[in-house]
Chain A
Amino acid sequence: MISLQNIRKSYHTDYNSLEVLKGIDLTINQGEFVSIMGSSGSGKSTLLNILGLLDEFDSGEYLLNDAAMDNLSQKQAAMYRNQLLGFVFQSFNLLNFKTAMENVALPLYYQKVDRKKRQALALDYLDRVGLKEWAHHLPTQLSGGQQQRVAIARSLITSPKVILADEPTGALDSKTSHDVMEIFKEVNREGITMIIVTHEEDIAKMTNRIIYLKDGLIEKEETGTISQT
């Protein structure tokens, strides 16, 4: 599903440049549930953003779904993001002026799906994360766990191949974190590739493959507690 070869990325500021990724080689197969760990500043978010086509890499090769992801135009990147990828963020990133249902339906708007149809689908997906009754609430009227479930529903609505989550449980208590992980596992069981960045050892343990980053390089890999189906 995903194949990285010698991916490098540096950030240039006015005075100096900082190499954040120093040659990442990584292959992730379809249906894997991967977690990325590492100390702060090790380049986890940068890697995930590159995987999500939100950021560009300097050199190396990135194949997503067998297609090379270099020199993409903004439009192409938007299309891939819309059709292949789903995002879940630590801070949920819901639009506060839209209801839960409208938030979930938004990715389909950019696929030009008809309004009625996308609202119906949004309700289905909200139902899947157990929030059907909350469909017409604004994000500010929901708890953190509920907001993250809305965000997960939003990431799922386009039936993506890969879901990328940057510290999805970072803002949640451990009970809600586990609920969210349960949803992720269920999603993963349907064959969707999951990649999450996390600081928490026990969260990482719930995945089937843990990748440790250190100073922009993959330090080591471990298998998690769940075995791949």
Chain B
Amino acid sequence: MFDLDNWQEIFNTIRKHKLRTGLTALGVFWGIFMLVFLMGAGKGLENGVTGLFGDRAKNSLYMGGRFTSKPYKGLAPGRSIRLTNEDVAAIRNRFEDEIAYVAPRMWMPSGEVTRNGMSAAFDVRGDGPDLIHIDPIKIIQGRFINQMDLREKRKVAVIGRGVRNVLFEKDEKPIGGYIQFKGVKYLVIGIAKSSRRGNNGMEDEKTIYIPLTTAQQVRNRPNSVGWFACAMHPNVKVSTVEHKIKDLLKERHSVAPNDLQAFWSENIEEEFAEVQGLFFGIRFLVWFVGIGSLLAGVIGVGNIMLIVVKERTKEIGIRKALGATPNSIVSMILLESVFLTTIAGYMGLAAGTVIVSLLNMAVGEGTEFYGNPEVDMGVAVTALIILIICGAITGLIPAMQASRVNPVVALKDE
């Protein structure tokens, strides 16, 4: 099979039948090309939508207090629930085994942030060190808020990229600089960027993070927590913990157990699962269409090989008269079919990859719903291998047919 002579025989045949070869190759080329292209495009969509989440902890939960809706223990409904430092400590304690990070936080009232005469409105929040493990933010310069900042209620700030771009000149070093908010000066200690794509990311980057304790002091509400974010340990399902936390908080705040209004929560895991479902659908579609066109390509090869065998009946008859064994005929047709599928498939793979990477360059940073398309090489190569095997299997039928050619009939003068 790996005899050089066999290959030379095949190369010669292929070279001398360019049109036939081309047509055969085209089907396979197209099948693989479509698969790679669709996979790339689907991946782009997936990247786009995943980008909306950024690298936010996928098993995270956001929760805060609202107003009670039911009377309980002599308390009238409509009472506003304020979370406290103790609530957070209690959650930390009770759910040590389930929750990996808890980040209590607090909004600052809106206002202008100024520096060197420049001023603009930004979101300012009091936050703790755990936030970096939950929210889709990354420190690109300096550091994030740490325990020391919290303990000493330091007047420090981590600013988003968007804030830096407004308040600092391009050639300035923001770290070590000061910004002013409601009469208080904060030392800039770090710059954050968002890993979310599009508008969400831009909003993220217009945020200023100061230590929670500092915020509590400035607002003169030392024990108050606005809401909190938490991320579970791996393998802990958010939905199993979510209601337990609520139960604990209801107990601590004397809220009726069946009061559904008193606390709000947002289960990121569930939202993510919904999106995953969508991706599953997309992937299914990609594979469905991709496998379909692959199959069409392979069947096309088989078909053309059948025609080829018909067309070559006379040649096969001649070869047999000259001493070709049935096996040598089978391997001739089979090798030709596998060789063609492999080369054409490989070219389809290459072309698909090139197109997808061109698309990638065109999309660039991506739009709201469309991220960088990419080719999953493992899958593409698997597809190619499947294709080659299919090429062999479909080549087998015409090859068997060829080996059964009766030389007497084949050589009968037309």
Contact = CB atoms under 8 A, between A and B. Distances in A.
A109 B314 contact: no
Contact of A78 (B17, B315, B320, B411): B320
Contacts of A82: 322-323
Contact of A81 (B5, B323, B408, B411): B323
Contacts of B413: 89-91
B327 interface: yes
A182 B244 CA distance: 107
B325 interface: yes
B340 to A, nearest CB: 17
Interface string A56-91: 000000000000000000110011011100010111
Given A110-B328, A115-B5, A154 B322 contact: yes
Contacts of A54: 320-321, 407-408, 411
Interface residues of B, number: 27
Given A89-B411, A109-B5, A97 B324 contact: no
Interface stretch (B8-16, B51-59, B252-260): B8-16
B325 A97 contact: no
A110 B321 contact: no
A110 B16 CA distance: 20
Nearest to B327: A75
Interface string B303-339: 0000000000011011111111111100000000000
Contacts of A78: 320, 323-326
**Most central of A79, A102, A107 by chain B CB within 10 Å:** A107
Contacts of A158: 323
A97 B322 contact: no
**Most central of B13, B16, B315, B318 by chain A CB within 10 Å:** B318
A110 B322 contact: yes
B5 to A, nearest CB: 6
Contacts of B4: 115
Contact of A98 (B12, B320, B325, B411): B12
B142 to A, nearest CB: 72
Contact-size category for A? 20 to 34
Contacts of B9: 109
B322 A107 contact: yes
Contact of B408 (A55, A90, A106, A112): A55
B13 A106 contact: no
A146 B411 CA distance: 20
**Most central of B323, B325, B327 by chain A CB within 10 Å:** B323
A93 interface: yes
Interface string A119-162: 00000000000000000000000000000000000100010000
A103 to B, nearest CB: 9
Contacts of A87: 321-322
A43 interface: no
A52 interface: yes
A97 B17 contact: yes
Contacts of A39: none
A225 interface: no
A74 B327 CA distance: 10
B326 to A, nearest CB: 5
Contacts of A75: 325-327
A106 B319 CA distance: 8
Interface in B1-57: 4-5, 8-9, 12-13, 16-17
Given A98-B12, A110-B328, A115-B8, A93 B314 contact: yes
Contacts of B325: 74-75, 78-79, 110
Contacts of B414: 91
**Most central of B8, B12, B314, B413 by chain A CB within 10 Å:** B413
Contacts of B323: 78-79, 81-83, 107, 110-111, 158
A49 interface: yes
A26 interface: no
Given A55-B408, A89-B411, A95-B318, A110 B324 contact: yes
**Most central of B13, B16, B317, B325 by chain A CB within 10 Å:** B325
Given A78-B320, A81-B323, 8 more contacts: A54-B411, A82-B323, A87-B321, A97-B13, A107-B322, A109-B9, A110-B322, A158-B323
Interface of A: 49, 52, 54-55, 74-75, 78-79, 81-83, 87, 89-91, 93-95, 97-98, 102, 106-107, 109-112, 115, 154, 158
9 contacts: A52-B321, A54-B321, A54-B408, A54-B411, A82-B323, A83-B323, A110-B322, A110-B324, A110-B328
